[in-house]
């Protein structure tokens, strides 16, 4: 069970890490925003990296809840689920303060694959791939693992495009690309 102070520290870290970057934010800045002390911080987190991992785990849980909700809403229809996911990506990318995928950002700041931060990123990415594989399983595709890799690439591209390009086009592009990869698109080609 998480204590209110731990939650307050995580809230402060989430706000600061996403807005400014993981390495740019010091423990002191998190402590100041949370309105606590170093002693209290270290009661809840052994190190800054532990806080970063907790932040990523929180973000992973939010994303998993969102994708789980899309799958539930899609009710076994792969195309409907991809539509719900694309709409969510479009909303996220269009939200004020969107700064890309927190997992891609964390991987860029923590290149060592053996660091706890990168392990948290990798665990979430494995979950995403597995979820994509499970989503497309009813389609009976020849190589669902390969298609899941393609969907991950599209997802990653959408997260980057939402930050760098026009967020208003991200949802439609994600959906078209995903449908093309899994073969569920309804567009006719001339």
pLDDT for 186 equals: 52
Cβ–Cβ < 8 Å for 106, 117: yes
CA neighbours closer than 13 Å in the CB half-sphere of residue 68: 7
Low-confidence ranges of the chain (pLDDT < 70): 1, 167, 185-190
Mean pLDDT in the chain?
92
pLDDT for 190 equals: 33
pLDDT for 76 equals: 92
pLDDT for 2 equals: 75
pLDDT for 8 equals: 97
Q: Cα–chain-centroid distance for residue 117?
A: 14
């Amino acid at each position: 069970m998480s204590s209110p102070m731990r939650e307050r520290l995580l809230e402060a870290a989430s706000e600061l890490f996403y807005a400014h970057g993981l390495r740019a934010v010091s423990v002191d800045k998190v402590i100041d925003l949370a309105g606590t002390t170093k002693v209290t911080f270290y009661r809840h987190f052994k190190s800054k990296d532990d806080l970063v991992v907790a932040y990523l785990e929180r973000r992973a849980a939010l994303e998993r809840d969102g994708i789980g909700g899309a799958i539930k809403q899609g009710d076994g229809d792969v195309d409907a689920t991809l539509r719900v996911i694309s709409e969510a990506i479009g909303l996220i990318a269009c939200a004020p303060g969107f700064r890309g995928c927190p997992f891609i950002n964390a991987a860029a700041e923590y290149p060592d694959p053996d660091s706890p931060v990168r392990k948290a990123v990798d665990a979430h990415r494995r979950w995403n791939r597995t979820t994509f594989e499970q989503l497309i399983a009813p389609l009976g595709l020849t190589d669902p693992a390969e298609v899941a890799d393609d969907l991950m690439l599209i997802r990653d591209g959408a997260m980057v495009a939402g930050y760098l390009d026009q967020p208003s086009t991200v949802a439609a592009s994600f959906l078209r690309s995903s449908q093309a990869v899994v073969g569920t698109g309804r567009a006719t080609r001339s």
